[in-house]
Amino acid sequence: MNPSCDTIRNAYAVCRRLARRHYENFPTASLLVPRDKRDALAAIYAFARHADDLADEPGIEGRLERLAEWRQKLAECYAGKASHPVFIALSDAAGRYRLSEVHFQNLLCAFEQDVVVSRHKDFASLLAYCTCSANPVGRLVLELFGHRDEALFALSDSICTGLQLANFWQDVAIDLRRDRVYLPLDDLARFGYSLEDLRAHRTNERWAELMQLEIARTWELFEKGRPLPERVRPELRRQLRLTWLGGTTILKKIAAVGYDVFCHRPTLGKWDFVRLYFQASRPLSAVRLQPKSSSPLAGC
């Protein structure tokens, strides 16, 4: 039996509340998306947000069981048997905009990995994780706007992986408190920077060199994805430009504090958003490339 229009409206309302409660910038970001697609975006976000919460709950076994239940609800959703409000909304959005189930499945793979994996041996392992944790979101946004070209997906993957990595470098201290280290272990060894150094928040020359490497790699990904906004529908261009600008601004802010993300966690403030919003009115080809030099180490 298909849900009524009132049931679907109420389900979307649940998704919007979940998005606003967990992500204070969601209302601002959603205003850049055409009104007819905002509810679908809220449903996508609500699906991922709830799964992320499940992955962060205590107890490995319980978390995996609840994620398995969430995966089963996803299968039921695509089989037309949704009963949970998030999946009632998601079922409507998926049918309306032809959203691929595989992207949601991949997101769940990343959340399941979060439960059992807290270290990555090398950069290739980290990129593989981002394939599931970040790239599906960009692909879903493209599908939401009717884009299903593999070349566009590849450009989107570069931006989304760059965003995920920028978030990791920004949140080194926060993740460490959860015993999660996203800095590749072989990179730590390469620069002689140990996990003990990391736990002690040592911002020495070895740390700066390590972060310079990771940020340079991240810049390369953003540069690969730079052409994407000008290749999509006009109504999506500003949102993608702003997304790219936000991620690269975080990288610049990390360098500006001398890579000391322990004492100075880089964030985007209200005036950053205002500035970047107006900057996003122009193609990204007008944006200056990666800074040529880095700042000295900053103290607390």
Which pLDDT value is given to residue 25?
A: 46
Residue 262 pLDDT > 90: yes
Please tell me the least confidently modeled range out of 13-17, 26-30, 36-40, 108-112.
26-30
Range ranked top by mean pLDDT from 49-53, 58-62, 248-252? 248-252
Going by pLDDT thresholds of 50, 70 and 90, the confidence category of residue 295 is: very low
Which pLDDT value is given to residue 32?
A: 76
Which pLDDT value is given to residue 58?
A: 65
Going by pLDDT thresholds of 50, 70 and 90, the confidence category of residue 36 is: confident
Which pLDDT value is given to residue 35?
A: 83
Which pLDDT value is given to residue 23?
A: 52
Going by pLDDT thresholds of 50, 70 and 90, the confidence category of residue 172 is: very high
Going by pLDDT thresholds of 50, 70 and 90, the confidence category of residue 3 is: confident
Where does 1-116 sit in CATH, by number?
Answer: 1.10.600.10
Going by pLDDT thresholds of 50, 70 and 90, the confidence category of residue 293 is: very low
Which pLDDT value is given to residue 26?
A: 45
Cα separation, 233 vs 110, whole angstroms? 29
Mean pLDDT value of segment 237-260:
95
**Residue 132 CB partners (closer than 8 Å, separation 6+):** 106, 107, 109, 110, 113
Residue 70 pLDDT > 90: yes
Cα separation, 10 vs 205, whole angstroms? 54
**DSSP string computed for the chain:** -PPPHHHHHHHHHHHHHHHHHH-TTHHHHHTTS-HHHHHHHHHHHHHHHHHHHHHTSS-HHHHHHHHHHHHHHHHHHHTT---SHHHHHHHHHHHHHT--HHHHHHHHHHHHHHHH----SSHHHHHHHHHHHTHHHHHHHHHHTT---HHHHHHHHHHHHHHHHHHHHHTHHHHHHTT---S-HHHHHHTT--HHHHHTT--SHHHHHHHHHHHHHHHHHHHHHTTGGGGS-HHHHHHHHHHHHHHHHHHHHHHHTTT-TTT------HHHHHHHHHHTTS-GGGS--S-SS-PPPPP-
Mean pLDDT value of segment 133-153:
96
Please tell me the least confidently modeled range out of 55-64, 145-154, 202-211, 220-229.
55-64
Cα separation, 94 vs 78, whole angstroms? 8
Residue 237 pLDDT > 60: yes
Going by pLDDT thresholds of 50, 70 and 90, the confidence category of residue 244 is: very high
Going by pLDDT thresholds of 50, 70 and 90, the confidence category of residue 123 is: very high
Whole-model pTM: value is 0.92
Whether the CB-CB separation of 228 and 159 falls below 8 Å is answered with: yes
Could you check whether 1-116 and 118-300 share the same CATH topology?
yes
Mean pLDDT value of segment 216-235:
97
Q: Does domain 118-300 have CATH number 1.10.600.10?
A: yes
Which pLDDT value is given to residue 29?
A: 54
Which pLDDT value is given to residue 280?
A: 93
Domain ranges of the chain: 1-116, 118-300
Mean pLDDT value of segment 125-146:
96
Chain-wide mean pLDDT for the chain?
Answer: 90
Residue 166 pLDDT > 60: yes
